[in-house]
C-alpha cells in the first residue's frame, strides 16, 4: 500500500467567493469556481480534455432537496458525457474526492480529471443547518442524546483542557490568527480581523447612543457577552461559519501535466483514515485517530515527515479542531497546540503558518467545498500567487480535512 503507479499534479485551482448569497444556488457557485479554476491553468485547458468529475458535496439532499449532483454539475460546465460521481464523507467530502481523483489518474484510467466541492447552506435557518450537519454524527446515539457538532467538539475541548491545561485564551488565539489571515483573502467570507469586528461593535454602540464598550484587546472582546457561549468552552467565535461556496481543481498525470503548466504542484502524499463513528466509542477525546492514520499514510507515500511541511491548511471547524490537528499531524507535541498558537508560531509570520487562507473559521465553511478549497490555498501559496498573505519560499504544503466529529480524515502533501 501507498506506492502509486504514476505521479499526479494539480495544474489549476480556483474557487467562488465564499459567503452568503441569497440569489445563488449550488449551481451558480459551482460554475463560478470551475471558471476560476479553468482560468488559473497557465496554458488553456479545453473542457473536452477533462475526462471525469469527482464532486465533493455533503448534503444537497438536506440543504436543497437535490441529489445526484455530479452529472448535474458536469452538465453545467460542458463535461457531459464524461463520468461524474459525487463523494460524501461529511465535511471531508471534497478532500476525499481529491484523493479518489488522484487514485483514478494513478490507475491509468484517466489523464485529466476535475475535482469539485460545493455546498449551499444559507438558505436554511441556523437551527436547520445545525440539524442537517448533526446527521453526520451518530443519529442513534449522539443526536438522540441531544448532541450537535458544537457540543461534540466542546467535549473534545474540555477533555483537552483537563488533560493538558489548554485555556480559553489559547482557543481564542486560533480564532484571532485565522481572522487576521482571512482579512487578507479576497475570497473569504469574513475579511475582518477580530479588532475590525470589535471596532464595528464599538461604532455601532456609539451610533445607537448605547454605552460604549471599552475592551482592552481582542481577548477581552472575545471573553465578553459580545461573544456568547455556544457550548462550553466554545463561544461563537470558536465556531466556523455557515457558508455558500464552491471550489475546483484540475489534476493531471505526469505524462500530460507539463503541457498545461511549467509550475505543476505535485500531490506527493495522500492518506485517509476513519475512526469509531460515535465519540463515546473512541479510545481518546484529545486526538483524532483518523487524522493520525491519514497523515502517517501521506507522510509515508511522500517519504517525508512533519518537519518537512512548511505550510498547512487544517480543518478548523472549531478552534479546538485546529489545536488537535497541529498535534495529530506531528507539527507540535501532543498537548502543546494551544500554547504554540498563543505564542504566534502558527501565524503568517510564524515558523509554521497554519490556515493562511483564514481557514474554515474566517474564509468560511461550505462543508462539501472546504477540502478542495484547502488545496486551492496550498496551490496558490506554493506558486507564489497568494497575494498579501503569501508566505515566502514554501515548497512543501499539506492539507488536512476532517469529516464529522473525526470519523473521517484525509491528508494530502504537495510539492512545487
For its own copies, the binding residue among 19, 116, 150, 273 (CB under 8 A) is 273
Backbone angles phi, psi at 63, to 5 degrees: -80, -35
Considering the complex, what minimum distance in angstroms separates the CB of residue 400 from its own copies? 15
Beta bridge partners of 14: 248
The answer to whether residue 118 forms part of the interface with its own copies (CB under 8 A) is no
Beta bridge partners of 396: 415
In the residue annotation, 365 being an active-site residue is answered as: yes
> Closer to its own copies at the Cβ: 76 or 202?
76
Please name the residues in contact with 141: beta carbons below 8 A apart, sequence gap of 6 or more.
278, 280
Q: How far apart are CA 364 and CA 239, in angstroms?
A: 10
Choose, by CB under 8 A, the member of 120, 160, 289, 315 that binds its own copies: 289
In the window 29-88, what residues touch its own copies (CB under 8 A)?
51-52, 58-59, 61-62, 64-68, 70-72, 74-75, 79-88
At 178, give phi and psi (nearest 5°): -70, -35
Q: Which of 407, 411, 413, 414 binds its own copies (CB under 8 A)?
A: 407
- CB-CB neighbours of 319 under 10 Å: 30
For residue 111, give every residue at least 6 positions away whose Cβ sits within 8 Å of its Cβ, in sequence order, or none.
Answer: 51, 105, 252, 253, 255, 256
Alpha-carbon dihedral of residues 63, 69, 70, 73, nearest 10 degrees?
-100
284 scored as a contact of its own copies (CB under 8 A): no
Decide: is 157 part of the binding site for its own copies (CB under 8 A).
no
Are the beta carbons of 9 and 258 closer than 8 angstroms?
A: no
Q: Does residue 2 belong to the site contacting its own copies (CB under 8 A)?
A: yes
Which listed range, 40-48, 95-103, 115-123, 149-157, lies at the site for its own copies (CB under 8 A)?
95-103
Least CB distance from residue 35 to its own copies, whole Å? 19
Segment near its own copies (CB under 8 A), from 16-24, 135-143, 207-215, 394-402?
135-143
Number of other residues whose CB lies within 10 A of the CB of residue 280:
12
Question: Which residue is it, cell 488536512?
Answer: 400
- Name which position in 117, 338, 359, 403 contacts its own copies (CB under 8 A): 403
91 catalytically annotated: yes
Closest to 326 (Cα-Cα) out of 194, 168, 170, 154: 170
Cα Rg for the chain, rounded, in angstroms?
20
Among 404, 411, 412, 414, the residue binding its own copies under the rule CB under 8 A is 404
Among 160, 315, 365, 412, the active-site one is 365
Show contacts with its own copies in window 305-334 (CB under 8 A).
none
Closest distance of CB 110 from its own copies, Å? 6
Among candidate residues 91, 114, 239, 248, the one labeled active-site is 91
What is the set of active-site residues?
91, 365
Amino acid at each position: 500500500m501507498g506506492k502509486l503507479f504514476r505521479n499526479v499534479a494539480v495544474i489549476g485551482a480556483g474557487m467562488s467567493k465564499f459567503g452568503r448569497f441569497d440569489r445563488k444556488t449550488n449551481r451558480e457557485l459551482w460554475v463560478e469556481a470551475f471558471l476560476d479554476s479553468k482560468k488559473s491553468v497557465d496554458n488553456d485547458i479545453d473542457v473536452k480534455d477533462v475526462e471525469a468529475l469527482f464532486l465533493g458535496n455533503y448534503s444537497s439532499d438536506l440543504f436543497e432537496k437535490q441529489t445526484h449532483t455530479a452529472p448535474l454539475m458536469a452538465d453545467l460546465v460542458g463535461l457531459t458525457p464524461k463520468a461524474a460521481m459525487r463523494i460524501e464523507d461529511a465535511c471531508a467530502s471534497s478532500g476525499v474526492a481529491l484523493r479518489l481523483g488522484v487514485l483514478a489518474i494513478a490507475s491509468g484510467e484517466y489523464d485529466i480529471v476535475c475535482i469539485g466541492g460545493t455546498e449551499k447552506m444559507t438558505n436554511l435557518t441556523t437551527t436547520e443547518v445545525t440539524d442537517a450537519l448533526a446527521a453526520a454524527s451518530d443519529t442513534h446515539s449522539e443526536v438522540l442524546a441531544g448532541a450537535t457538532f458544537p457540543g461534540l467538539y466542546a467535549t473534545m475541548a474540555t477533555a483537552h483542557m483537563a488533560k493538558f491545561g489548554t485555556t480559553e485564551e489559547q482557543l481564542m488565539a486560533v480564532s484571532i490568527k485565522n481572522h487576521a489571515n482571512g482579512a487578507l483573502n479576497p475570497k473569504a467570507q469574513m475579511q475582518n480581523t477580530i479588532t475590525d469586528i470589535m471596532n464595528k461593535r464599538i461604532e455601532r454602540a456609539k451610533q445607537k447612543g448605547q454605552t460604549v464598550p471599552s475592551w482592552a484587546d481582542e481577548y477581552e472582546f472575545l471573553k465578553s457577552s459580545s461573544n456568547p457561549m455556544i457550548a462550553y468552552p466554545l463561544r461563537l467565535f470558536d465556531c466556523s461559519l455557515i457558508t455558500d461556496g464552491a471550489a475546483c481543481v484540475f489534476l493531471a498525470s505526469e505524462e500530460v501535466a507539463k503541457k498545461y503548466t511549467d509550475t505543476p504542484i505535485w500531490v506527493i502524499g495522500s492518506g485517509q483514515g476513519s475512526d469509531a463513528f460515535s465519540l463515546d466509542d473512541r479510545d481518546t477525546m484529545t486526538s483524532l485517530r483518523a487524522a493520525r492514520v491519514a497523515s502517517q499514510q501521506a507522510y509515508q507515500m511522500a517519504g517525508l515527515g512533519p518537519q518537512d511541511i512548511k505550510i498547512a491548511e487544517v480543518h478548523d471547524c472549531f478552534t479546538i479542531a485546529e489545536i488537535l490537528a497541529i498535534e495529530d499531524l506531528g507539527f507540535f507535541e501532543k498537548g502543546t497546540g494551544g500554547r504554540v498558537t498563543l505564542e504566534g508560531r502558527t501565524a503568517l509570520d510564524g515558523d509554521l503558518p497554519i490556515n493562511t487562507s483564514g481557514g474554515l473559521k474566517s474564509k468560511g465553511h461550505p462543508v462539501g467545498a472546504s477540502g478542495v478549497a484547502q488545496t486551492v490555498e496550498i496551490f496558490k501559496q506554493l506558486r507564489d500567487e497568494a497575494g498579501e498573505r503569501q508566505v515566502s519560499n514554501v515548497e512543501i504544503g499539506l492539507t488536512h480535512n476532517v469529516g464529522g466529529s473525526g470519523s473521517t480524515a484525509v491528508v494530502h502533501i504537495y510539492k512545487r
